[in-house]
Amino acid sequence: MSRISEIENAINDIIERRPHSKDAVTAFKPVLLEKTRWKEKLEPVSPVTDVEQLKKGIPVIRQTKLFLPGDPWQEIILSLSSAAGDGFPEFRKDFDTIKSSIRKSPLPVHDFLGKFPESDEEFISEWSRKMGIRPDALSFVLFTAIRTVLEKRGEEYRDHIKAADWDEGYCPVCGSFPSLAIIQEKTGRRKLNCSNCAFEWDFSRVDCPYCGDHAPEGMDFFFIDGNQQESAYVCHKCKRYIITLNQVSDLTPQDREASSISLAHMDMIMQDKGFAPMAFCAWNVF
């Protein structure tokens, strides 16, 4: 079975299990599938990193270039804009404008990448104003394009990172904080899923990934309607939360991004309680 078919099956399974999330997941589906298609098209690179640097907490992105001059940014943005227009017809005009604009003049993506993983709001504001579109539309397409490339690169660095026994709360590939945690039923281990490259790594169950606080009594989990498979871990010290899944089976292919989108209602609840997400994503900004 192809990866695209796996993603489609996972998305359909998520909608069946969480029917309340159907509209949100269906809207993101064309983008998720297009992102997967591009990951399969991108050329692999030879990993270059220093395991000893990783052991000191220095992520790959600070050791070597993860964004390459030959990366087809304009083509990726064009196709993602089309997919986003299909999923979010109310924004189609903005996404169509992005396509027509970059066909006339390529978007200087590498200027935007200079501050990554921080968001360059000035860049987004300036270019969305030039295009005459809403900044959220440009931000969505840019970060999805970045995620597409970084997911591919992260897969190529998996063995190097495994050898380093990474134990930081931020991503060993791109330095971003996680947007999802998965607790494995068989092992009880907690894995963190990066908000920008989807890389997963093991992390302590009693430490806060965001502030590092080691205080089990300061940890808390919120459940909805007694559902023990879906919760939100919160840290009362830094007032951050992370959506958490208890993975009851390793057999069914899971798309973490679609799972996160399907649990956006939990993001709303946690933010109403005064907590902020450990990482902001397109689906948890309200």
Question: Are residues 70 and 140 both part of a single domain?
Answer: yes
Using the 3D structure, point to which of 136, 158, 180 is the last residue of a domain: 158
Give the whole-angstrom CA distance, residue 276 versus residue 171.
19
> How many domains does the chain divide into?
2
Least confident of 4-8, 123-127, 130-134, 249-253: 249-253
Residue 72 carries which side chain, given as an amino acid letter? P
| Rounded CA separation 197/155 (Å) | 9
Residues 6+ apart with CB under 8 A from 113: 67, 146
Same domain, 41 and 142: yes
| Statement to judge: residues 243 and 263 lie in one domain | yes
104 and 11, same domain (yes or no): yes
Q: What is the pLDDT of residue 3?
A: 84
Last residue of a domain, one of 95, 123, 158: 158
User: How far, in Å, CA of 77 to CA of 145, rounded?
Assistant: 6
pLDDT digits (tens, 9 = 90+) for 120-164: 789 999 999 999 999 999 999 999 999 999 999 998 888 889 888
- Domain housing 266: 167-277
- Among residues 158, 185, 210, the one where a domain terminates is 158
pTM: 0.91
Cβ-contact 271, 172 below 8 angstroms:
no
Strand pairing class (276-277; 200-203): unpaired
Q: How many CA atoms lie within 13 A of 68 on its CB side?
A: 13
Q: What's the DSSP call for residue 176?
A: P
252 neighbors 13 (Cβ within 8 angstroms): yes
